[in-house]
Amino acid sequence: QVQLQESGPGLVKPSETLSLTCLVSGDSITHSYWSWLRQSPGQGLEWIGYVSYSGRSNYNPSLKTRVFISVDTSKTKFSLNVTSVTTTDTAVYFCARSRLRVTGFDSWGQGTVVMVSS
Amino acid sequence: SYVLTQPPSLSVAPGMTATLTCGRDNIESKSVLWYQQKPGRAPVLVVFDDSVRPSGIPERISGSNSGNTATLTISRVDAGDEADYYCQVWDNRGDHPVFGSGTKVTVL
């Protein structure tokens, strides 16, 4: 059974770069699409972007100028970078797997809280 | 761009049926997914491809999609069903998922 685990700093200063990693176990990262999503306090789900093993990626149009997602196949992990963060980037960040569009995000990490504050 | 319309809240008595809706013009042309999210937890996929339940999801949770409305039905509701529920479709043109704003289900 696949398991995903997010890790990274819980506090980031404004204007700096937020960096998170999702460790994947129980599944090959060479399969599937790997996404990051987030949820601001009291708000709904927001998709950030995805990456595949082949390097195909896409990002939320509202974030694409500040976001980069990469995959490290040798270590079965993928990573998120968000540059020039502001307080509006404060959220719970989730990593998730999707095998096909129609089957959706079928496995999620537990989420990690990131606060942007000076 | 896509907007999926979900009522913000729904209250239902234990043992009754909860009917959650997700609206958009011609949503029946899309494959709809539903997620359940309990407080402090990650979302859980409960329905994909309009009406298919992943392994482990009880039969009393069902989905349908017709016309301009997709529906998630939870029969014999109990306290464990209290959660936020999000619908989702895929925007093929933009190649990205779109989520509804969620419905908070309260069990009275």
Is the pLDDT at A101 greater than 90? The verdict is no
* B contacts of A44 (beta carbons < 8 Å): 84, 86, 99-102
* Binding-face residues of A in 80-109 toward B, CB within 8 A: 94, 101-106, 108-109
Which residues in chain B are closer than 8 Å to A1, comparing Cβ atoms? Answer: none
Looking at the complex, does the CB of residue B44 fall below 8 Å from at least one CB of chain A? yes
Residue B65: in which H helix or E strand, if any? Answer: strand B61-66
Q: Do A105 and B49 touch (CB under 8 A)?
A: no
With CA atoms as reference, the chain A residue closest to B49 would be A102
Q: How far is CA B51 from the centre of its chain?
A: 10
Show Cβ contacts of residue B9 under 8 Å, excluding neighbours closer than 6 positions.
B103, B104, B105, B106
Tokens, residue A57: 């990626």
DSSP state of B30: S
State the pLDDT confidence band at A51, using cuts at 50, 70 and 90.
very high
Q: Which tens digits make up the pLDDT trace of B40-61?
A: 999 999 999 999 999 999 999 9
A53 CB within 8 Å of a chain B CB: no
For B79, other C-beta atoms within 10 Å of its C-beta total: 8
**HEC readout, A73-96:** HHHCEEEEEECCCCHHHCEEEEEE
B45 token code pair: 């996929």
Residue B27 DSSP SS3: helix
| Amino acid of residue A70 | S
Contact A102 B99 (CB under 8 A): no
What are the E-state strand segments in B1-108? 9-12, 18-23, 33-37, 44-47, 61-66, 69-74, 83-91, 96-99, 103-107
- Would you say residue B94 has pLDDT above 90? no
Put simply, the answer to whether A105 touches B102 (Cβ < 8 Å) is no
User: How many residues in chain A?
Assistant: 118
Q: What whole-number percentage of chain B has pLDDT above 90?
A: 94
A55: pLDDT strictly greater than 90: no
